[in-house]
Amino acid sequence: MKNKIFIFLPDGVGLRNFAFTKFKEIGDQKAYDITYWNNTPFSIKNEIGFDEVKIENQKINPLTTIFTRARKRIELNVFDKKFNETVYNTYNFPQSYKGFSNFFKSISVDVLVFFGSNNTGINFVRNTIKKLERKTPKYNYCKKQLEEHKPNFIFCTNQRPSQAIAPILAAQDLGIPTATFIFSWDNLPKATTLVETDYYFVWSEHMKKELLMYCPYVKPENVFISGTPQFESHFDKSLLQTKEVFFKQHNLDLNKKYICFSGDDIVTSPLDQYYLEDLAISIKELNNQGYNLAIIYRKCPVDFTTRYDAILKKYSDVIISIDPLWRPVGTSWNEIMPTKEDFALQSNICEHTEFVGNIASSMVFDFVAHNKSCLFFDYEQPQLKKGIRDIGQNYKYIHFRSMPSKDAALFVNHKKELTKIVKNILDGKLSNVVEGKKWFEIIVGSEPTKASNAIWKFIDTITNK
């Protein structure tokens, strides 16, 4: 009899790694009965043809939002005290006190944080969240689904969403083994592990150490180092187009060299458009020196602001937009869904541009997988004023301490240096690829092409116990 596996999608984040890769195909080859337990607006059955069980009940306990917000702030306070730091609290964002509802929630969070920023407080909040979610109709709804379909194992694709808590608790209360995948390289220091499962899948030894450090309730023997499917596409040569085909498809000039500017979300980089402008100015300066350059602007998939429009129009002679192939199926950031086609698009942009310019994102790893450099902007813009977040804060975060050396990325610390740095990269005098590959291995692991296989291997281990 086949083991029945539920691939749990609490939000759209997991689609990219576990629905649009070869992950399911590998599981099918291992003769698993795979169903997507789908909490997203995206229809797995209609869009991809995979079996799914839809979770239609989306209501968490009204108090859960308060306690999950408090949990994050409490844990960050404890991390600062425990590790003698001040950086952890910079992962917090200001609360809103406008309107009665926001005021009540924020004051309640403040009270919990004031009295609970210790290990006793953390345990109280963790247990309270579980009690609250066990009382919800969603918990009973999910429990009935599990009793009906009888899966042998639940694999949660994302440890962050509060929407995942009740379904995982329902599975655990029925004795069904559960696991979650840590979906991003910066998640653990940010105190975003809301979902507590029986097993955890992490990218690398580095991430396992982080998990055990920040989540002391996790047992080391229940943590599996699997890698991540996120980067597998960069090593799949079948996805790559020839330069001629790619350039023709996107109306690019074969005589030009292109630099990728990878846009950030408005929270990470609120003045991102001005860094794009700076790069455009440098490109124009270098073109006046005899180069033939242009920029491919790839926007952040979850950024629907108009803040770049004026820059794109002003520098249309040197900037071409190639939008990610994502599409909205809802209104929030985690309802912007990737598509399978975007894997190929992103790989081809990496392959057919000279390097990437960016602010503090994991695109450094995407490009180093193609032996291309990454330039990180790290200087203030004159438009910076009170109430606007300085992007320099990003590089002080804990996850940037994983760099094997300062040469693992190319930092531009002053605007006046930008043109020279771009020129040196183009001329082959400057590169972060060697050190960037070391950083890639620290974060992603040593076998980036085998992540999906490794996850299924560990699922074999769990389901055969």
Of the pLDDT bands very low, low, confident and very high (cuts 50, 70, 90), residue 302 is confident
Within this chain, do residues 170 and 79 fall inside the same structural domain, yes or no?
Answer: no
**CATH number of residue 416's parent domain:** 3.40.50.2000
Both 84 and 108 in one domain: the answer is yes
How far is it, in rounded angstroms, from Cα 7 to Cα 14? 9
Same structural domain for residues 314 and 171?
no
Q: Of 132, 159, 184, which one is at a domain's C-terminal end?
A: 132
pLDDT tens digits, 161-214 = 999 999 999 999 999 999 999 999 999 999 999 999 999 999 999 999 999 999
DSSP states along 169-186: HHHHHTT--EEEE--STT
Q: Which residues pair with 293 in a beta bridge?
A: 257
**296 shares its domain with 404:** yes
Same domain, 240 and 362: yes
- Per the structure, how many domains does the chain have? 3
Contact 279, 314 (CB under 8 A): no
Please indicate, yes or no, whether residues 107 and 254 belong to a single structural domain of this protein: no
Mean pLDDT of 409-414: 97
- Residues above pLDDT 70, as percent of the chain: 98
pTM confidence score = 0.94
Query: In this structure, which amino acid lies at residue 280?
Result: A
**Tell me, what's the pLDDT at 336?**
72
Same domain, 53 and 174: yes
Given a cut of 90, whether residue 387 has pLDDT beyond it is no
122 & 54 share domain: no
Strand partners, 180: 156, 200
47 and 116 in a single domain? The answer is no
Cα 299 from Cα 308, distance rounded (Å): 9
The domain boundary, picked from 97, 116, 132, lies at: 132
Got the DSSP string for 244-313? HHHHHHTT--TTSEEEEEE---TTT-TTHHHHHHHHHHHHHHHHHTT--EEEEEE--TT---STTHHHHH
Read off the pLDDT of each residue in 12-21 and give the average, rounded to a whole number: 89
**Is residue 253 located within the same domain as residue 372?**
yes
Tell me, yes or no, whether 297 and 277 share the same domain: yes
Q: How confident is the model at residue 383 (pLDDT cuts 50, 70, 90)?
A: confident
Can you tell me the mean pLDDT for 368-383?
A: 95
| Residue 356 and residue 331 share a domain | yes
The stretches of 90-118 forming alpha helices (DSSP H) are: 100-116
Range of the domain at 152: 4-60+136-227+448-463
How far apart are the C-alpha atoms of 181 and 52, rounded to whole Å? 19
pLDDT of residue 268: 87
Per-residue pLDDT tens over the stretch 326-337: 877 666 665 677
Given 106, 132, 158, which residue is the final one in a domain? 132
